[in-house]
Amino acid sequence: MSNQKAPPRRNTDVIQCPNCGEEYSVTYKRCPFCDERADGRLHTAPGSRRSGGGQPLNPLQIFGLVISLALIVAALIIVFKTVSPMLFGSSSDGGSSTSTSQQQGDNSQTENVAVEQLLISQDSAALKAGEEWQAVVTTQPTGATTPITWTSSDSTVATVDQFGNIRNVYTGTGEAQAVITASAGDKSVTCTVTCTGDGTGSSTSGGTTGGNTTGGGTTGGSTTGTTTGGIAPNTDAVIVGATGGLNIRSGPGTTYTVQASTTNGATVTVLEEAGDGWYKIKYAIGGGEYAEGYVMGTYLSPADT
């Protein structure tokens, strides 16, 4: 009797991998050849490579990935538009408004702004022989572009430069006054400067204390203008030499307050001599009313001359 070999039995202890077709023992949880699980799911460890390649992605999966990416990008755009104004300020509209305001500011710098009012630091000052002092003028509005010019009513008494620096140049004896005027367009402001002479020269056109005497003439010739002692009490006089206006004060000195102002050609009544070249006068204030004040005699000329 011949020996016949039994047909090979399939070992039930092995599993055929549905992915790569290789057989492996059931003791393995995953196919050692392609690393697929026994339940048909493929698992690839990080950094490992599987033989035979994986199955291609389903078109639905690709479409789902594209939709997901689009939603993520849209969400990022919405968040950026919402948060960016808080982080970076206003949007393009704000930028355009800023540039517009800057342009308007640049245009305003080139426009001419008229002076509405001039203000001076002091309306009176007393300077010793050779002394200098600067008068400061401010404009309203502050951005006015009209240039300021300075003039002196008597440059032999006081001079002024383009910056308002006033210098006492009076060389006579006693005191003399000059009116410093700052002008811008049709606006002006004045400062009356009382200058003490250094005694090195003769009397100026403004006159000095004791220059003219009452009566027909003067010793050594008379000077131009009126000097202290030249007007008798209770007589009329005319304001002269005050091209920028003349302040009438409440007392005989520049430290007293200004209670009114007058101009060249105005007529006043001299009441009495108040000393140091000052006169007490009576002047009209309107409506038939009169008031009393004080001015320097250098600005008075007898009305009958």
- Identify which has the larger pLDDT, 144 or 12: 144
In this structure, what token pair is assigned to residue 43?
């698992």
pLDDT tens-digit readout, 55-102: 566 788 888 889 999 999 999 999 888 887 777 765 545 455 555 555
Please give the pLDDT value at position 220. Answer: 31
State CA 96 to chain mean position distance.
24
pLDDT tens-digit readout, 249-291: 999 988 888 888 888 888 899 999 888 888 999 998 877 788 9
- Using DSSP, state whether 97 is helix, strand or coil: helix
Distance CA 305, CA 59 (A): 121
| Domain spans of the chain, in order of start | 117-302
Nearest to 299 by CA among 260, 247, 234: 247
Cβ-in-10-Å burial (0-12, 13-18, 19+) of 265 comes to exposed
Please give the pLDDT value at position 100. Answer: 55
pLDDT tens-digit readout, 27-50: 877 788 877 665 655 555 444 444
List all residues 6 or more positions away from 161 whose beta carbon is below 8 Å from its beta carbon: 150
The identity of residue 19, as a single letter, is N
Distance CA 249, CA 259 (A): 5
Mean of the per-residue pLDDT values of the chain: 76
Average pLDDT over residues 200-208: 53
Please give the pLDDT value at position 224. Answer: 34
Please give the pLDDT value at position 58. Answer: 77
In this structure, what token pair is assigned to residue 69?
């990416």
- Identify which has the larger pLDDT, 41 or 181: 181
Please give the pLDDT value at position 51. Answer: 46
Spell out the SS3 assignment of 194-245.
Answer: EEECCCCCCCCCCCCCCCCCCCCCCCCCCCCCCCCCCCCCCEEEEECCCCCC
Q: Which residue has the tokens 């200004």?
A: 258
Report the alpha-carbon angle 247-251-256, nearest 5: 70
CATH architecture of 117-302: Sandwich (2.60)
Report whether 160 contacts 166 (CB < 8 A): yes
Residue 134 pLDDT > 80, yes or no?
Answer: yes
DSSP 20: T
Average pLDDT over residues 22-26: 81
Distance CA 170, CA 178 (A): 10
Distance CA 232, CA 244 (A): 26
When mean pLDDT is compared across 104-118, 134-148, 155-169, the lowest value belongs to: 104-118
Distance CA 114, CA 106 (A): 18
